[in-house]
Amino acid sequence: MYRRQFLKYMGSSGLGLLLSRQSLLAQEAVPDRFWISVNAGGGWDPTYFVDPKGNRPRLDGRGPVNNYSVNAIQSAGNIRFPSSYPEDIDPPDANSPGHFANFFPKHASRLLVINGVDTQTNNHDSGSRYVWSGKIESGYPSFAALAAATTAPSQPLAYISNGGYDNTASLVAPARIGGGDVFQKLAHPNASRPTADVEKRREYFAPSIYAGIEQARMARLQRLKSGSSLPLKRSQLDELLMSRVGDNNLHKLVNLLPDRVSSGLEGQAEVATAAFASGVAVSANMHMGGFDTHGNHDQNHSRRLTELLEGLDHLWAQIELKNLQNKVTVVVGSDFGRTPFYNDNNGKDHWNVTSIMAMGAGIRGNRVIGATNDHVEALKVNPQSFRPDPNGIILTPEHIHLALRRMAGVPVQLSSQFGISGQELNLFS
């Protein structure tokens, strides 16, 4: 009942026309490879979790990089992290899946950390663009858009975006969801409270009356089509009719969503993985902000990182629930890093050096590659071993994206159209 309402309601929205394309265009192979970009908007502090430094005094007298103890730095496999938090903040709940002491031991075996990535900027717009497209200049598509265009450019919701850098360069049409509960609202157009529990939704019309309204709408469309002789108009009416009818993939999408979609990153994860499992999407942006901590850095950053890691933990649970763990690649990043010292407001300002995390299909986990020194300056690394090497290279977003494009099988012609320079490195496997 609700799935049918969802499909019919899609016809009265922009998403409905987009979703109908699959039935009108040539069928593509069912996607079996999926991509998620998780954006920590504002510029995160890698030294607070995946590139830990601790409170060792700096030689230049500018204070410690962090306020947590050097002795708190532990390892889960090869992944280093602080197991405790600064003493002057309220730490997260000890049982939270986003607590460092819980998240990293649980996920270290599948996690790759790339430290010492030089974004060459401390500007939010250019940093986000560089990290997610591999190019600091404007106009380049995000990797998620390239992946969608490579695998299934005419899939209904090929590229789902919840925010962050999502330029597509017109390769695909991004579906900007705007909230995890949007599908609940679309699925229950006859409900005054579509995101409430079933018994509290309160329908506007009785089911029999609402069904009659829908039948009248469909009959009107059929009359318009039969009375039109212009090919373009008939084609447009065909699309509208198809969007009212829908297909099996859309039934699957609604069926795979929980009764109530969660808020925040958790809800974004539920929608993205349901869209993947139902075959209507191949890539997604997940996004949360709040990392631009120019004041009260330790407390504010701790809270946001906890929420981020809770979201990643929930994302992986959803991936496993839908049996996609060998098909989904997750990349996590931010605009840039934060200064290796505190300002007068106990905050941290913008810093060009950052870190990237990755997990899932195609990622060899339990690894840390790249490095920074005690002042969080990117170190040159050997391009084969990725260990510090004075004769090596500085890692940049170009290196990340060249490796991602190769893993995603982006065609040479498409990659050349949005060319990025740099040495191809075997970062992920």
Q: 81 has which bridge partners?
A: 74
Between 194 and 26, residue with greater pLDDT = 194
269-301: pLDDT as tens digits = 999 999 999 988 999 999 999 999 999 999 999
User: 31-180+264-269+280-417 in CATH: which number?
Assistant: 3.40.720
Give the list of residues 6+ apart from residue 269 with CB closer than 8 angstroms, or none. Answer: 262, 286, 311, 314, 315, 318
**DSSP, res 92:** P
> What is the identity of the amino acid at 286?
M
Q: Is the model's pLDDT at 112 over the cut of 60?
A: yes
The CA–CA distances, whole Å, from 51 to 44, 308, 326 equal 11, 16, 27
Does 246 score more than 50 pLDDT? no
**Model pTM score:** 0.84
DSSP, residue by residue, 20-80: HHHHHSPPPPPP--EEEEEEETT---GGGTTS---SPPPTTSS--S-SS-GGGEEEETTEE
Tokens describing residue 63? 């204070």
Q: What's the mean pLDDT in 214-226?
A: 80
Mean pLDDT of the chain: 87
How far is residue 48 CA from its own chain's centroid? 21
Is residue 234 predicted with pLDDT exceeding 80? no
pLDDT of 15 > 80? The answer is no
The residue ranges of every structural domain in the chain are 1-27+191-261, 31-180+264-269+280-417
- How far, in Å, CA of 85 to CA of 103, rounded? 14
Contact at 8 Å (CB) between 117 and 381?
no
